[in-house]
Structure 1
Amino acid sequence: MSGQDAPLQGRLVAGVDGCPAGWIAVLLEEGLTAPPQVLVTSRFADLLAREPRLEVLAVDMPIGLPDRIGPEGRGPEKHVRPLLGMRQSSVFSVPSRAAVYCEDYREACRIAQETSEPPRKVSKQAFHLFPKIRELDKALADERQERVFEVHPEVAFWRLNGGAPMSLPKKIKSRINPDGMEERRACLAAHGLEPAFLSQKPPRGAGADDFLDACVNAIMALRILAGLTEPFPKDFARDSRGHRIAIWA
C-alpha cells in the first residue's frame, strides 16, 4: 500500500474507486478537520483491515449480486439512470453472480442469458469490471457488509449538485475532458475539499478521473456516516449472501 501520510485522528471514512494499480482510496476525517489522505493499494482487503478502522467505505463497484436478473435488471441501475440525463451511459448493467464469476466473455454471455429474464448478454464494458467485482465480493465474504456501501460517482455528483447531473462528461472518446474535470473539482470544492488537493497529480497507478471519483465517493462516505444519504431503490433487496443491492447517494 502506498500513499500520503496525514494525521487523521477522528472517525475515518474512505471513498474508493478501481484503478489500473488496484484501488485508489481517499480517506477523510469526520468534520473534515484534518487534511485528506490518498492511497493506492493492490487489494481491497487491505482497506477492510486498515487501522485505524474505516467506519464507512463507499466504493464505486457493484456489491449485491442476484442469482437471477429479472425484467427490471439488478435494480439500482434502473432507479439511478433517469437522474443522470446525458451521463446515464456511465451506469452499466450488471448480470447474475454466476455470470460475473465467468472469466471468458462468451461463457459470461451464455450464463448471463441463462440467468436473466428476458435473456441478456453482457456488455464488454461491464465484463472488464468483473475481476474487480469478484475481488470485492470475495473480500466481503468474511466481512459484515454494513460499513461497505455501493456508490456511483455520477450519482454522487448529481446529489452534491442539488439533484442535477454534471453538464459535461469526464471523458470524450476515452480521453480526459479538462472542462468536465474542472466542473467536478468545483463541485467538490463547494463541499469542503481544498482546490489544491483536488488539483494534485494522482498517485502512481491511478488516473486523474479515478482520483476525482474517489474524492466524490469519500464525500458520500461522510454523508453516509452522518445519515444523509438514501438507497436506490428505497425498498432494496439483498442477495443470497446478505449484501444490499442498492446504490447510495
Structure 2
Amino acid sequence: MAGVDGCKAGWIAVLRNLNDPAGITLKLFPRFSDLLSHIPILKIIAVDMPIGLPDLLGPDGRGAEKAARKHLGMRQSSVFSVPSRASVYEVDYWAACETSLKSSEPPRKVSKQCFYLFPKIREIDGLMSPSLEDRIYEVHPELAFWRLNGEREIDLPKKVKGRANPDGLDQRRDLLLTKGLPRELLDQKPPKGCGRDDLLDAAANSLIAERIHFGNATPFPQDYQRDGKGLRMAIWA
C-alpha cells in the first residue's frame, strides 16, 4: 500500500507492506501512472489530490471539502475549494477563472494555490475510473493528522507566510512516531524536488491507507456524491 503526496518532482510515496513492518520505504514516482504499474501491486493508494470533479459547483463547493473543514478548525484553510472539471482543464489562470465563473453558483474565481495543482489533478483524472476506486482513494494530510491525533486538529501550522514551520513539522513527525513509523524514514533528507512537508504528508497518508485496508476509514461526507464520470467525491480518513 502507499501514502502519496504530490510534489514538484512528481509524486512522493511511502510504501508499506503490512506483512513486513520493517519493509517501509520512501520512493519518488515521476508520474502517477507509475504507481499503478508498480510491482508488487499497490493494493491501496491513498493520495492527497482531488478525485471527482463537479460539472457545476454549488454554494458549498464539493461536499468533501465542506465535510473535512468542519473538523480542522485553524487548519481548515489547507483544504482548497476545487472548481469544475472544465475549469481544471484550462491551462491559463485567467481562462480557468473565467470558466469557473461560468460553472459555479454563485460565480467564483479559482485560487492561485488550487490552480497550481491543476496539472496533477488532470493527471489523476485522466487515469481514474470507477473500476479503480477499490485501489485509489482521495485523502488529505490535515484530515489524516486530525484522525491520528485523536480527532483533534494539529495546533501548529506546517507553513508560516509560505515558508516551512519547523515546529509544526516536528509536531507532526512526533505524532507519526507514536503511530509506529520509524524515525529513520521521517527524518531522512527528502529527494530533490520534494519538501519535508511532502514526506510527512505521504507518511500520514500511508497510515490512512492502512485504515482503509482494515475497513476503519470513513469517507467525508458519508453520503458523498459522484461526478459526471461516475467518480466518488469523498476524502477518506
Q: Structure 2 length as normaliser, TM-score?
A: 0.97
How many residue pairs get matched?
237
> Partner residue of 2:207?
219
Whole-angstrom CA distance in 2 between matches of 1:143 and 1:226 = 20
Q: Does 1:51 find its partner at 2:39?
A: yes
Aligned ranges for residues 97-246 of structure 1 at < 5 Å?
Answer: 97-141=85-129, 144-246=132-234
Q: Secondary structure at the match of 1:201?
A: coil
Q: Secondary structure of 2:134's partner?
A: helix
Note the 1:33-48 alignment, pairs <5 A: 33-48=21-36
Q: Once the 2 structures are TM-superposed, how far is the Cα of residue 45 of structure 1 from its aligned partner?
A: 0.2
**Partner of 1:166: helix, strand, or coil?**
coil
Do the aligned partners of 2:130 and 2:231 also contact (CA within 8 Å) in 1?
Answer: no
| Superposed displacement of residue 203, structure 1 | 1.7
**Does the CA-based 8 Å contact 2:219-2:234 persist in structure 1?**
yes
Q: Shift in Å at residue 35 of structure 1?
A: 2.8
Q: Which runs of 4+ in 1 moved over 4 A?
A: none
1:63 corresponds in structure 2 to 51
CA contact (8 A) 2:70 2:76 kept: yes
Is contact 1:16-1:60 (8 Å) kept? yes
Q: Which runs of 5+ in 1 are unaligned?
A: 1-12
CA contact (8 A) 2:129 2:231 kept: no
Q: What letter corresponds to residue 31 of structure 2 in structure 1? A: R
Q: Give the CA deviation at 1:68.
A: 0.8
In structure 2, the residue matched to 1:78 is 66
Q: Secondary structure at 1:63's aligned position in 2?
A: coil
Rounded Cα–Cα distance in structure 2 between residues aligned with 1:114 and 1:155:
30
Alignment correspondent of 1:10: none
CA contact (8 A) 2:4 2:46 kept: yes
* Cα separation, 2, equivalents of 1:211 and 1:90: 17
Structure 1 residues 206, 143: closer, same or farther in 2, change over 3 A? farther
Aligned-pair identity in percent equals 57
Q: Distance in 1 between matches of 2:229 and 2:85?
A: 11
Letter in 2 for 1:174: G
How big is the alpha-carbon RMSD for the aligned residues of Structure 1 and Structure 2? 1.3
**Structure 1 SS opposite 2:58:** coil
CA deviations 1:77-112 (Å, max 9, x no partner) are 111112111111100000000000000111111111
Q: CA–CA distance in 2 between the matches of 1:189 and 1:35?
A: 16
TM-score between the two structures when normalised by the length of structure 1: 0.92
Matched to 2:181, the amino acid is: L
**Alpha-carbon distance between aligned partners in 1 of 2:53 and 2:20, rounded to the nearest angstrom:** 33
Unaligned runs of 5+ in 2: none
